[in-house]
Chains A and B, each alone.
Chain A
Amino acid sequence: MRDENQLHAAVVELVALENAQIKYSTVQNWYPGDENGRGGIYNFVTKRGECRGANSRISWTQVETGSAITWKYPSCILTGDNSVGEFYSVAVANNYQQADTGTKMIHIGRNTRSTIVSKGISAGHGQNSYRGLVKILPSAVDARNYTQCDSLLMGAQCGAHTFPYMEVRTPTAIVEHEATTSKIGDDQLFYCLSRGISSEDAVNMIVNGFCKAVFKELPMEFAVEAQNLLAVSLEGSVG
């Protein structure tokens, strides 16, 4: 196997003009290195988008299952009035993978809205970090943000970290943040087993359920792929 690391550094920039909508979906499964953390891709990516026109929308959807280290923070600058930014993410860190990802939503225009749904799954010695910035400038009257940030832990050696930042400079803004951390429950697992379902299928089922809010944002063929990738990435991580 390859035991040196390779770099993938990509830059993606999106601009949405008046009434335009852009949906950018990624399913990433670069080589993550071996089970001891040797080798693998460094996936350092710059992704940013500007909703320049009124009523425009940019939607980032990502499923990150591969790479030894991922650093990736797709952002939206919401300049146009009534523009919408969205970020839906599933990130998996198994073995010695590190997934450090999140988003920036910068509200400038009036009545701008953003939604962030981030699901991190950690297994083995994997470490997942969510970094988010929600910045609402004084000009962004009536801006709204909703953030949901959930972490699922499998096993005792993995970690989940969340760093949400909010800068709100508009009194009319409404910003919500919800975060949960759960361990893949012995109770849930046993419930499935006691219905005749194998432990591998049960884990897949529970993890896919956890990611459902993101997967439903993916185009159909991607969603199927993502589910299968998730199963492969987490193979053998429980029981």
Chain B
Amino acid sequence: MLSIRNLKVTVAGKQVLNGLNLDVKAGEVHAIMGPNGSGKSTLAQVLAGRDGYEVTAGTVTYQDRDLLALAPEERAREGVFLAFQYPVEIPGVNNVYLLKAGLNAIRKHRGEAEVDAFEFLTLVREKMQLMQMNESFLNRAVNEGFSGGEKKRNEILQMAILEPTLALLDETDSGLDIDALRVVSNGVNSLRRADRAIVMVTHYQRLLDYIQPDHVHVLTGGRIVMSGDKSLALELEKRGYDWVKEDSAAA
């Protein structure tokens, strides 16, 4: 589904990704781990199409298309979803309204009719229950006055409703207490499907206790230096990122 080859990215003249390779197949869950500043979030942002990141080399192929050639909104309509590390507040814009506008844009792109208002509300209520969010959320502005946990739940709620093909979760576990982490993880787990891939970027192994990845990659110095299964994350937890750095330096 997703194939990244030799991706090099600079941000404000500074090299952040330096020849990154990654292959993700439908149905898989990948965890990308790495120390602060290793380029994890940059990868997520570049895949979603954020401005300010300059791709200097490499290719990203998503469903046999050149992902980098698409505008961010086109990527979203093609099924790419980014759950933000820091979801933004948009005062005065109703949460549900934004969600509905997004869903309709995606449906229109697929040649489907706009969603019926009542059906949509039923769908939102159902998914809100999954994320253990209360009714008041329906009338609030996008992320305005939300706690850290509420913002992250809201991201996964959006994912549940927009039903992406490729979901990128950027540090979705950061700032969550253990209860919120469980709710968010349950939400993500319920969205695992054979035709959907999930790539999660995280600093800590903790998240992987709740969402079990098929593949774990270690990103450091702008490239993936080690890949393995879930046990790699445990190893990392025990030995720290320095171990990988030394190891890859030796290799």
Interface residues of A, Cβ cutoff 8 Å to B: 185-188, 190-199, 201, 205-206, 208-213
Other A-B pairs beyond A195-B98, A196-B162, A197-B73, 20, CB < 8 Å:
A190-B72, A193-B49, A193-B73, A194-B48, A194-B49, A195-B102, A195-B158, A196-B103, A196-B106, A197-B101, A198-B73, A205-B93, A206-B93, A208-B93, A209-B90, A209-B92, A209-B93, A212-B91, A212-B92, A213-B92
B72-90 toward A: CB 8 Å interface, digit per residue (1/0)? 1101110001101001101
- For the complex, what is the distance from the CA of A215 to the CA of B196, rounded to whole Å? 42
B71 within 8 A of A: yes
Give every chain A residue within 8 A of B81 (Cβ-Cβ): 194
Give every chain A residue within 8 A of B72 (Cβ-Cβ): 190, 193-194
- For the complex, what is the distance from the CA of A212 to the CA of B92, rounded to whole Å? 6
B140 to chain A, nearest CB (A): 12
B180 to chain A, nearest CB (A): 21
B164 to chain A, nearest CB (A): 10
Contact between A193 and B76, CB atoms less than 8 A apart = yes
B64 within 8 A of A: no
Give every chain B residue within 8 A of A185 (Cβ-Cβ): 88
A62 to chain B, nearest CB (A): 18
B192 within 8 A of A: no
B51 within 8 A of A: yes
A144 to chain B, nearest CB (A): 24
Give every chain B residue within 8 A of A188 (Cβ-Cβ): 88, 90
29 pairs from A and B in contact (CB 8 Å cutoff): A187-B88, A188-B90, A192-B90, A192-B98, A192-B101, A193-B71, A193-B72, A193-B73, A193-B76, A194-B49, A194-B72, A194-B76, A194-B81, A195-B76, A195-B98, A195-B101, A195-B102, A195-B105, A196-B73, A196-B77, A196-B105, A196-B106, A196-B162, A197-B98, A197-B101, A197-B102, A201-B105, A205-B101, A209-B92
Q: Knowing A196-B73, A196-B109, A196-B162 touch, does A211 contact B92 (C-beta < 8 A)?
A: yes
- For the complex, what is the distance from the CA of A204 to the CA of B123, rounded to whole Å? 26
Give every chain A residue within 8 A of B48 (Cβ-Cβ): 194
- For the complex, what is the distance from the CA of A188 to the CA of B51, rounded to whole Å? 13
Closest to B105 in A: A196
Q: Knowing A187-B88, A191-B90 touch, does A209 contact B101 (C-beta < 8 A)?
A: no
- For the complex, what is the distance from the CA of A213 to the CA of B81, rounded to whole Å? 31
Chain A-chain B contacts (Cβ-Cβ < 8 Å), number: 78
B193 within 8 A of A: no
Give every chain B residue within 8 A of A211 (Cβ-Cβ): 92
Give every chain A residue within 8 A of B65 (Cβ-Cβ): none
B50 within 8 A of A: yes
Contact between B92 and A195, CB atoms less than 8 A apart = no
B159 to chain A, nearest CB (A): 10
Question: Most chain-B Cβ atoms within 10 A of its Cβ — which of A185, A193, A205, A213?
Answer: A193
B138-183 contacts to A, CB under 8 A, are 141-142, 158, 162
Contact between B90 and A196, CB atoms less than 8 A apart = no
- For the complex, what is the distance from the CA of A197 to the CA of B75, rounded to whole Å? 11
Give every chain A residue within 8 A of B158 (Cβ-Cβ): 195
Closest to B78 in A: A196
Which 3 residue pairs across A and B have the least CB separation, nearest first?
A: A209-B92, A195-B102, A209-B93
- For the complex, what is the distance from the CA of A10 to the CA of B71, rounded to whole Å? 48
B12 to chain A, nearest CB (A): 14
A126 to chain B, nearest CB (A): 21
Closest to B99 in A: A195
